[in-house]
Amino acid sequence: MNNDPLEKLLNEKKAQTLSFEKSVEEFTADFFAEAETRTRQRASYFRAAALFAAAAGLLIAALLTLKLTPAATVVEVDPMAESLRLFGNDDVAVLFVDNDLVIGERFSGDAPSNLLRLKLAGDVDFQLACADHDSISVNTPRVSGNVIVSRSDSTTLVLDVDLKIKDRRICTQIPVVLNS
């Protein structure tokens, strides 16, 4: 093997002399200054992380406060009026039986002008929107039958009710005196 290039490199390495540009005191001072700078940097990173965590906590607290306060005032809505607004046109009947909305068919050309609230058979709450002369037919699994409304005089309506509600048949005539 040819070791000449290796020998040449080793001789050059031996010929080099190490020279320090700084004295031991200067080197020691620079070393500890650099260590102190890195320690300060590390502490500033911890301070920045703690500041970020505190800012994030304040932001979350502010957002939760905003979320828990109502943005708008609550307005009470009459279910019958809202149902009439949505469904009640000339051929759709809107009824409530024990707070359950029931949609039926109307056979009157007039818009509903009367809102009636009655107790049927003693324990069934019944609400109805009807015209002065109206015929309403309902056919749902819970409520089925007919209601015929006719005006007898300027303040009285007569309801001819023939309904089957919750497997109970209610067949009656009810005079209703309207409040002005």
Tokens read off for 31: 């070393």
CB neighbours (10 Å) of residue 170?
15
> What does the alpha-carbon distance between residue 165 and residue 145 come to, in Å, rounded to a whole number?
9
Q: Are residues 99 and 162 in the same domain?
A: yes
Q: Are residues 42 and 96 in the same domain?
A: no
Reduced DSSP (H G I as helix, E B as strand, rest coil) percent helix, strand, coil of the chain, to 5: 35, 35, 30
Residues 112-162 pLDDT 10s: 788 888 888 778 888 888 888 889 899 988 889 999 999 888 888 899 999
CB neighbours (10 Å) of residue 48?
10
> 3-7, 53-57, 86-90, 98-102 — which one is most confidently predicted on average?
53-57
Q: Are residues 115 and 142 in the same domain?
A: yes
Residue at 99 is within a domain? yes
Residue at 74 is within a domain? no
Is the pLDDT score of 54 beyond 90?
Answer: yes
Residues 6 or more apart in contact with residue 142 via CB below 8 angstroms? 97, 100, 102, 165, 166
Q: Are residues 90 and 139 in the same domain?
A: yes
Which residue's structure tokens are 């290039």?
5
Mean pLDDT of the chain: 84
Q: What is the mean pLDDT of residues 12-27?
A: 80
Confidence of residue 180 (pLDDT cuts 50, 70, 90): low
Query: How many structural domains is the chain composed of?
Result: 2
Confidence of residue 25 (pLDDT cuts 50, 70, 90): confident
What predicted TM-score, i.e. pTM, was given to this entire model? 0.55
Burial class (CB in 10 A: 0-12, 13-18, 19+), 115: middle
Residue at 159 is within a domain? yes
Domain end, chosen from 49, 68, 87, is at 68
Residues 75-120 pLDDT 10s: 788 888 888 788 766 788 888 888 888 888 888 777 778 888 888 8
> What does the alpha-carbon distance between residue 83 and residue 89 come to, in Å, rounded to a whole number?
10
Share of the chain above pLDDT 90, in %: 16
Burial 60-86 (b: 16+ CB within 10 A, else e): eeeeeeeeeeeeeeeeeeeebeebbee
* β-bridge mates for residue 97, sequence order: 100, 126
Domain that holds residue 127: 79-177
Residue at 139 is within a domain? yes
pLDDT at residue number 71: 62
